[in-house]
Amino acid sequence: MIELTNVSKKYKNGVNALYDVNLKINAGEFVYIIGATGSGKSTLIKLLDGEEIPTKGTVKVVGTNVGKLRHSKVPHYRRNIGVVFQDYRLLESKTVYENVAFALEVISMPKPEIRRRVHEVLNLVGLYDKGKMFPNELSGGQQQRVAIARAIANKPKILIADEPTGNLDPEMSIEIMHLLEKINREEQTTILMVTHDIILVEKRKKRTITLQSGHVVADLTQGGYIRHDNT
């Protein structure tokens, strides 16, 4: 599903973000990516969704060589990937329903299909009765669930969650985790979750990839976090 081979990324301003990263993630996996600020997590996400091109090596996602993708092909490729952010990024002027429908409208899905799918995903995230509400009328956890609903609305093969629990209290975080696990299970979506939350990683063990200064320093299939001497 995702395959990085000898991937290095150096930005134009000289910053080296990733060094010789090799990584393979299979379809249907749920993977944590952890690491301190500046460890290369964001760059990894940008390489996966086609925003950045690797300086060296190849990034292959669902059979597409992302680095070689022409500009005009990027939007269609991106429909394979849903992204959820720490700050939700919802449109304040649109209702919950409209926020989710928006993601489907812009990829030219017919209206009846949009209606059906929006109801389906709002059901999945447990916000079926909140369709007419505006984002600022919802709690943080609910807003994040709207964002997740939007990200999975067009059935992406991969869901990248960038610190989805970063702004939430532990209780809400667990709720979101349950939801992501449910999506992973029910929609067979491969999930990459970037997080700082060591406690969460320890509590709900899954394959964990640790990045440090642009290197993959640990990749534990059994999960958990190894504390290094220098951290």
User: Burial level of 65, CB count in 10 A (0-12/13-18/19+)?
Assistant: exposed
Specify the length of the chain in residues: 231
The reply to whether 154 sits near another protein by the rule CB under 8 A is yes
Q: How far is the CB of 16 from another protein (least distance, A)?
A: 20
Using CB under 8 A, which of 91, 198, 199, 226 touches another protein?
91
How many residues sit close enough to another protein to count as binding (CB under 8 A)? 29
Q: How far is the CB of 7 from another protein (least distance, A)?
A: 17
CA dist 205 and 227 (Å) reads: 15
The reply to whether 64 sits near another protein by the rule CB under 8 A is no
Dihedral angle at the C-alpha atoms of 36, 174, 193, 160, nearest 10 degrees?
A: -130
Q: Which is nearer to another protein, 72 or 222 (CB)?
A: 72
The reply to whether 89 sits near another protein by the rule CB under 8 A is yes
* The residue type at 131: G
196 and 34 in contact (C-beta within 8 Å)? yes
Stretch that binds another protein, among 8-16, 50-58, 126-134, 220-228 (CB under 8 A): 50-58
225 and 201 in contact (C-beta within 8 Å)? yes
The reply to whether 11 sits near another protein by the rule CB under 8 A is no
CA dist 124 and 179 (Å) reads: 8
Within 164-203, the residues that bind another protein by CB under 8 A are none
Using CB under 8 A, which of 2, 21, 44, 83 touches another protein?
83
Query: DSSP letter string over 50-76?
Result: TSS--SEEEEEETTEEGGG--GGGHHH
Site string for another protein, 100-139 (x = CB under 8 A): --xx-xxxx-xx----------------------------
The reply to whether 79 sits near another protein by the rule CB under 8 A is yes
Q: Which is nearer to another protein, 145 or 206 (CB)?
A: 145
Q: In what order do the strands lie in the sheet with 56-61?
A: 16-25, 2-10, 56-61, 64-65
**Which residues lie near another protein (CB under 8 A)?**
49-53, 71-72, 74-79, 82-83, 89, 91, 102-103, 105-108, 110-111, 150-151, 153-154
